[in-house]
Structure 1
Amino acid sequence: MKWILYMMLFTTPAANVTNKAEKECLSHSDVKQLATIVKCRPEYEGKHIWSLQSASQLEFSNFQGCVATQNKLIANSNVASTMTLRTWCFCDSDKNECPTDEEAVATIRGIRSCELSPTGQTCEDARKTFNNFVGQSQAPGKGQNSTSIQLYPPPPDIRSRGQQ
């Protein structure tokens, strides 16, 4: 079983960034600022026309590695006003070892909730779940041959919870 981080790189024509909020958004480049990036970047991207430039993939042995690398890519590329990424993690197994779609969604929601609010009981409970998540279905005999989940941008309900 392996996890594949699939990335699509999009570009937009160069333009002057003069809006104060956009400048502030584009100044964030640290993984610790990911929650802020997740809140401000979609608004910035919505004002531009994007063209697909390339697609690439990386392989990982576990889900956490896929998510950690995705986080670094998103944070490090945020300062570029003319490019953006879309990423997915795919599990691939020919032995029904991949988690169910529901397990993958629950795990990523836990990871994202901790990114938005790293302290508190909710994050601690989520961390216990995804730290033990090694890729196999938690329900024996109910695994799948493949699982996919889009990691960036996060689902709208995760973004809106971060704004509260």
Structure 2
Amino acid sequence: MMERMAVILEKDLARGQAAFAQWCHAAHESLVSAESMGSLESADNHGTTAAPDLALSVSPALPRNIWAMAVRYSLFLLERRAPGPGVEVRVAPWGAIKILDGPESDPHNLTPPDVIELDPDVWLRLAAGITTWAQEKGAGHITAVGERDDLSDLLPLV
């Protein structure tokens, strides 16, 4: 059996936790700001602004290293919540983990039968509880192959 690499080094856990907290705070601030601008816009134009649409666009302007550590730390949390070899969760370019019980990787290609791919902003919105799996899936932001392609029971992480 092949030794798996850790998604985050033990020495980086505190930095990762701080980065994830910083990302969550910035994302929530961004959402509150966008919602208040939307309500002003709605009042001016007599239109409506849907909060779910705003939530799907949350992507705070933070340094790349904060994003990387936030992704790695949140993947670490998911891996601890649902250990196993059955589903691979990929958040390129910063991390990939295997979670949940089930069939292991094919020894020839090392890819499990179930693979979920997410962009970093999508993953962090889900991990932070800003959006739901159904919202992101409905918007076409989640690429998932396999029978276990829904992580909604495991999210959010905070």
Q: Where on the TM-score scale, by shorter chain, does this alignment land: which range?
A: under 0.3
TM-score by length of 1: 0.26
Which structure shows the bigger proportion of residues in strand conformation? 1
Which structure shows the bigger proportion of residues in helix conformation? 2
TM-score by length of 2: 0.27
Q: Of the two structures, which has the highest relative contact order with CA contacts closer than 8 Å and spacing of 6 or more? A: 1
